[in-house]
Amino acid sequence: MTRVALCQIPVAHDPKANLEAAREALARARGADLAVFPEATLTRFGRAVAEVAEPLDGPFVTGLAEAARENRIAVVAGVFEPAGDGRVVNTAVALDADGSLAAAYRKIHLFDSFGAAESALVTAGDTPVVVALAGLRLGLITCYDVRFPELARALVDQGADAFAVIAAWGSGPMKEEHWTTLVRARAIENTTWTVAVGQAPNPEAPDGFGIGRSMLVDPMGVVRHDLGPGPAVHVGEIDPAVTESVRRTLPSLEHRRLGVRRS
């Protein structure tokens, strides 16, 4: 059994303020094995991200690692790394409970949709990442990635037994419906526990990023916890016995016909 904290915090432009918010959330999550924070926990999206982006040995990740070690909680959180071309890399870091860097996933699918152009600011990654963390084989997914089922399936094929989906989901018509539907779909089609954590809305930021609605979804697609729209830290449990039971009842991963091709 893995106790996981959904840390749905609002994110400001100031990394120091966000690090302090993350520290406070980890203190509230004491007793959890894993804490998942949103995409872009370092700083809000915007033209200034390149000015505040940091390497993974910079003060933000170092401070987050110290907080993970102090609280003995593994952490997943979104940051921005300098890309070297004036843009940044949208990175999910995975930290062990001893504060060591276990993995870094660079977002593959960039949000050039709904009038946004993430690729103007961000360089895409190209490698799916599964990390051993808090007793799980955790597949890392960032925001717009959740619209691409082939990524989640690639993570399962690499041995993922749970997904961590981090997001700064934008508001707008049908957007919240898409978020809740896509998160549940990735859980159902892969019969896999899914921890989906987004930014809480920040009333001081009018950019529309952050709708909340962080969820823990079980392998049958049942939403075990839904944090709603406001700031919250909530601890739930991932039970591997549920995965085993669901996959006996619904062995869809075994029923794939990988040799079938369209003519």
**CB contact at 8 A, 34 and 3:** yes
Per the DSSP assignment, residues forming a β-bridge with 162 are: 138, 193
Question: Distance (Å, rounded) from C-alpha 69 to C-alpha 33?
Answer: 12
Candidate list 7, 54, 81, 107, residue with the active-site label: 107
Q: Is 139 exposed, middle or buried (0-12, 13-18, 19+ CB in 10 A)?
A: buried
Candidate list 7, 54, 118, 143, residue with the active-site label: 143
Candidate list 7, 39, 54, 118, residue with the active-site label: 39
DSSP 8-state secondary structure symbol assigned to residue 230: S
CA-nearest of 132, 142, 185 to 162 is: 132
Could you confirm whether 39 is annotated as catalytic?
yes
**CB contact at 8 A, 26 and 67:** yes
**CB contact at 8 A, 29 and 5:** yes
CA-nearest of 29, 30, 33, 89 to 61 is: 89
CA-nearest of 161, 111, 107, 109 to 135 is: 161
Catalytic sites, residue numbers: 39, 107, 143
